[in-house]
Amino acid sequence: MVKKHPSTFKMVLKQLKPMIPLIILSLLLAIIIVLATLLFPILIGRSIDLIIDIDNVDFIKLSHYFIIMVIDVLVLAMTNWLMAIINNHIVYKVNQKLRNQAIAKINNLPLSYLDNQEKGEIVSRIISDIDTFGDGLLLGFSQFFTGILTIILTLAIMIYYNIYIAILVFVLTPISFLVAKIISSKIYKKFKEQATIKGEQTGFIEEMINNQKIVQAFSYQKENEVKFEQINMKLKDVSLKANFYSSLTNPLTRFVNALVYAGVAILGTILIVTQQGVLTAGLLTTFLSYANQYGKPFNEISGVITEMQNSLACASRIFELLNQKELPNENHLLDVDLQGNVLLKNVYFSYDKNKSLIEDFNIKVTKGQKVAIVGPTGCGKTTLINLLMKFYEVDSGNIYYDDYNLKDIKTNSLRDNIGMVLQDTWLKSTSIKENLCFGNPNATINEINEALEKCNCQSFIKQLPNGIDTIINEDGGMLSTGQKQLLCIARVMLCKKTILILDEATSNIDTRLEKKVQEAFNELMKNKTSFIVAHRLSTIVNADVIIVMKDGHIVEIGNHENLLKKKGFYFELYHSQFES
């Protein structure tokens, strides 16, 4: 089993390394548990041998054995309790560590990876897969240690008391191992497939819940139900096969155990009858008890093997995420305080290396300029913003901020100089006040109120139950799309940044309110370098420079009046919106 997945198993051991002292303590407690468990049948057997006849019972020795049995049971109960606490602590610590590593990993992964992954699939790995891995680990510590020790010590004691019965048990034992090995080879593949489909199912459910309004608006409920049923059927088929193979292990090993038990009973009886003094009735009782106990660990171990196959399958998915290539270490890069000059020189970029997007892009922006970027959908406007924000790296060419090459600037330092409002709003599940202070935790209440006033947010905030202390969920809940975007605009106003990027920042606001917000933006953009991506060309007529893009190229550049006079592509775009 382990040999098939050395890399996964090696990484599991690496996660357990800090827990070695607790694991050793757990192992010592397991030894005590096994010794206490194996002592009990010996005491029972010797007690039986003290009951020779109605008038021939050694009550004094019986009482001594009874006291020892009570102590033995108490020790067993206490050590089991302590071992359970320690094992749970180990597992929960490992789970906690893995989740922390996963979240830290996500924060350090390039957007190119996250953009190509289903969000529900990632959530499934962090929540469901880590839980399943922890369950398998807990079973391993709770039952695997004690199971192995029980087998070894039981066999040693049986050899000590009677070599013939020990040989019989030892000969029949490998059958259990053979059964477990054949079945476990089938289980891992099925459980990994099951975990993958669970991730797909989680992703689909999350997508549907997040977009339920769209689903209902387009009456797509039936189609979604059909698609979900297909995923569910796949999960059912794989789960049934996985559980079928895993459920074979226990009954087959129990069958082998029953053979061992029957063999011990028959051979023991023969030895009592044919070789008097070699074996007593009490000792045979001890052997039968051992034969039964000797079989149980095999059942437990086979169950643990099954669960650990599932656990390893989930662990491989977790480590697959943790092994993803992170953003490069930036300790050697520069912390900067930007003035706002930007230069793009011979920039090339494409998401798919077989399909070109931005080619030989050149533009120079000086401090304080308002630069609008316009063009048809898919021409590369938002892609250009992604490059300016260092969300993606250029394929070739260079981007300069002031005299610094973007490649030499720390990402966090760069973004500390840039304020950004996206078309897609994002709010945390917390109070409006905390959402507003996301980029500036030290903002005063006066600064918050001023930003809200400038963005015309006060009117709808006053209607909320607790004003700016009202708790909202991540999709805004009671707020309209326009109101959420106004909050995002107010949030960036609180951040005193040198450079502003507004990617369709007013797309969800009605035209009457847009004029007022535009006035606030004009105030905000004073003495700041601003990049404005807009489809509504009415919002960028006052821009110092308008970059007109088409198919990843700059086709025109100038201010509003000059571009209209050229009667080129910008002229067509503008008049397509203002036909009359």
Which CATH number covers residue 552? 3.40.50.300
pLDDT for res 2: 36
pLDDT for res 4: 42
pLDDT for res 181: 67
pLDDT for res 408: 92
Single-letter residue type at 79: T
Quote the percentage of the chain above a pLDDT of 90.
5
Does residue 176 form part of some domain? Answer: yes
Parent domain of 109: 7-198+239-322
- What digits encode the pLDDT tens for the residues 299-326? 677 667 777 777 888 888 888 888 888 8
CB 296 within 8 A of CB 371: no
pTM over 0.85: no
Average pLDDT on 555-575 reads 87
pLDDT for res 71: 93
Average pLDDT on 249-275 reads 77
DSSP string, 78-123: HHHHHHHHHHHHHHHHHHHHHHHHHHHHHHHS-HHHHTTS-HHHHH
CATH classification at residue 151:
1.20.1560.10
Are 313 and 369 part of one and the same domain?
no
Here the tokens at position 568 are 């080129």
pLDDT at 82 over 50: yes
Flag the least confident range among 173-182, 194-203, 266-275, 527-536: 173-182
- Higher-confidence position of 423 and 579: 423
Burial of 260: CB neighbours in 10 Å, binned 0-12, 13-18, 19+: buried
pLDDT for res 164: 81
Are 163 and 255 part of one and the same domain?
yes
Does residue 215 form part of some domain? Answer: no
pLDDT tier at 295 (50, 70, 90 boundaries)? low
Here the tokens at position 400 are 């300069």
Average pLDDT on 278-290 reads 78
pLDDT for res 1: 37
Are 273 and 374 part of one and the same domain?
no
Q: Collapse the DSSP code of 534 into the 3-class scheme (helix H, G, I; strand E, B; otherwise coil) and give the result.
A: coil
pLDDT for res 79: 93
Flag the least confident range among 91-95, 137-141, 397-401: 137-141
Q: Pick the most confident of 201-210, 262-271, 303-312, 403-412.
A: 403-412
Are 257 and 392 part of one and the same domain?
no
Q: How many domains would you assign to the chain?
A: 2
- What digits encode the pLDDT tens for the residues 225-240? 888 899 999 888 888 8
Average pLDDT on 499-511 reads 77
Average pLDDT on 414-441 reads 84
Does residue 527 form part of some domain? Answer: yes
Burial of 281: CB neighbours in 10 Å, binned 0-12, 13-18, 19+: middle
Are 364 and 314 part of one and the same domain?
no
Are 284 and 424 part of one and the same domain?
no
Are 476 and 373 part of one and the same domain?
yes
pLDDT for res 78: 94
The average confidence (pLDDT) of the chain is 82
Flag the least confident range among 269-273, 297-301, 372-376, 446-450: 297-301
Q: Collapse the DSSP code of 365 into the 3-class scheme (helix H, G, I; strand E, B; otherwise coil) and give the result.
A: strand
- Higher-confidence position of 384 and 273: 384
pLDDT tier at 343 (50, 70, 90 boundaries)? very high
Does residue 69 form part of some domain? Answer: yes
Does residue 409 form part of some domain? Answer: yes
- Higher-confidence position of 290 and 348: 348
- What digits encode the pLDDT tens for the residues 11-58? 888 888 888 898 889 888 888 988 888 888 888 888 887 776 667 777
Between CA 504 and CA 528 the distance in angstroms is 18
Q: Residue 300, Cβ neighbours under 10 Å: how many? A: 20
Are 255 and 353 part of one and the same domain?
no
pLDDT tier at 276 (50, 70, 90 boundaries)? low
Are 351 and 286 part of one and the same domain?
no
Q: Collapse the DSSP code of 462 into the 3-class scheme (helix H, G, I; strand E, B; otherwise coil) and give the result.
A: coil
Domain-terminating residue out of 289, 322, 355: 322
Q: What is the DSSP letter of 320?
A: H
Between CA 501 and CA 552 the distance in angstroms is 19
Are 353 and 495 part of one and the same domain?
yes
pLDDT for res 400: 93
Q: How far is CA 374 from CA 233, 388, 389, 539, in A?
A: 47, 16, 18, 11
Does residue 260 form part of some domain? Answer: yes
Are 37 and 159 part of one and the same domain?
yes
Does residue 334 form part of some domain? Answer: no
Flag the least confident range among 79-83, 221-225, 263-267, 395-399: 263-267
pLDDT at 174 over 70: no
Here the tokens at position 314 are 């989930």
* Backbone phi and psi for residue 330, each to the nearest 5 degrees, phi listed first: -115, 15
pLDDT at 357 over 90: no
Average pLDDT on 359-378 reads 87
Domain-terminating residue out of 291, 322, 353: 322
Are 149 and 297 part of one and the same domain?
yes
Here the tokens at position 257 are 């155990």
